[in-house]
Amino acid sequence: MNPRPIHGASARPVRTAADPRAWYARAALAVLWALAASAGDGLAQPLGPPHPFVLAEKGGLPIILTSPHGGHLAPDSLADRSCDACILGNDGGTQEWARETADAFERATGRRPYLVINLLARRKLDANREIVEAADGDPHAESAWAAFHAAVEEARADVEARYGRGLLIDLHGHGHPIRRLELGILLSAIDLSRTPDGLNSLYGRSSLRALAERTGGLAALVRGPDAMGTLFADRGIPAVPSAQDPFPGPGEAYFTGGYITQRHGSRDGGTVDAVQIEAPGPGLRDTPANIRSLALATASVLEAFLARQYGLVLDSRPAPRPAAETCLELESVPAALRVRVEPSCLAAREPAARIIDVLGRTLLAVPLQPGSFEIDLDGFAAGLHFLVIDSGARRSARSFVLLPR
């Protein structure tokens, strides 16, 4: 993708590179690994050096979920993007879609997909663009962009090493008139309208190149009975392309796939394919219940697609969840954290919890008791934090993202 012109760049305050980002990342990495080591399985294993504006988790499945446009953080320390072509609006609910899909996989299989989420609002960073348009010259946004894509690269390499092949799903939202999923594989609507032989001849231009080479064709992958869009439509969620809706009609809006699909799919090599999924808002992304239903369908479709197209059958018997996962549940709400603690978490007479930031600083200490309660974090900086429970010889630690008020 060619860099697009920057509007008003000369008027932007200059931010020097002499900020403590390198030390910050090293310190955060040390804190996260120290917590992970002391907490056992209670903390998700990090993927790449931690960054305050990127959530990246290593998975146990050959699936990578990315969410570049669903971040909620908009710190004043980062300038708003103002380039001529910049799109600033978020794809609402897509971060939650990614998280809920990962949770659905865990409930069904006991394992989670790889997860890479941009926590910044799109007006601060667009992680689905090359760096010039993505960060618009802000060094902190550039740092987050680099961390996001480094985590995806690490996830791809790990999937290829562990499973030999895999699938990246890039989650987005659209506002087009037709309420259907749009599955982008770097082919246009005209490309998708070709005959089966004509479509098969385009496999080398698609982000499903590796899969098409193994299966012998592209047409069946995008509009056959076991195509991803067909599997969604079979579950009551219309999608294009699919057997039910093979290609967008003349004049119908359709997203073909963006920078993430281009860079991290298999078009230019490797054995991890990529599909960009664009979901409409009404009925799918507009309420927590609808997002949860969409996530359940997404996990179900991806499990079936992996089995039928990749020959990778996931064990549907849930593995036992680690004790720290079952006894401690967190929910981020604006300027607060909701906590549910089971008695099994609390081995000491007077257990305490600490809120720790990515630099390892204790921001708040509170006494604990079994049950559900809310910790007021108004006034604390939004971003990635950790809740650590010290209970005798046992420590439970979980990461969470503090949302702005």
Per-residue pLDDT tens digits for 145-178:
999 999 999 999 999 999 999 999 999 999 999 9
* Domain shared by 150 and 282, yes or no: yes
Residue 140's domain is classified under what CATH number? 3.40.630
Amino acid occupying residue 303: E
Amino acid occupying residue 165: R
* Domain shared by 91 and 184, yes or no: yes
Residue 27: inside a domain, yes or no?
A: no
Residue indicated by tokens 């969620």: 237
Give the chain's domain count. 2
Q: What is the pLDDT of residues 35-83, one digit of tens each?
A: 444 433 334 577 877 788 999 999 999 999 999 999 999 999 999 999 9
pLDDT of 353: 80
Residues 329/400, Cβ–Cβ less than 8 Å: no
pLDDT of 39: 39
- Domain limits at 353? 324-402
* Domain shared by 305 and 361, yes or no: no
Dist. CA 178–CA 165, nearest whole Å: 33
DSSP category for residue 311: -
* Domain shared by 94 and 193, yes or no: yes
* Domain shared by 125 and 171, yes or no: yes
Q: Which of helix, strand or coil describes residue 252?
A: coil
Residue 34 confidence (pLDDT) above 60: no
Residue 358's domain is classified under what CATH number? 2.60.40.3080
**What is the rounded end-to-end Cα distance, in angstroms, of the chain?**
36
**Predicted TM-score of the model (pTM):** 0.77
* Domain shared by 268 and 342, yes or no: no
Q: What is the pLDDT of residues 211-258, one digit of tens each?
A: 999 999 999 999 999 999 999 999 999 999 999 999 999 999 999 999
pLDDT of 186: 98
Residue 355: inside a domain, yes or no?
A: yes
pLDDT of 360: 65
Q: Which of helix, strand or coil describes residue 190?
A: helix
**pLDDT band for position 5 (cuts 50, 70, 90):** very low
pLDDT of 318: 53
Identify which of 160, 149, 137, 201 has the alpha carbon closest to the alpha carbon of residue 63. Answer: 160
B/e letters for 233-255, b = 16+ CB within 10 Å, e = fewer, are bbeebebbbbbbbbbbeeeeebb
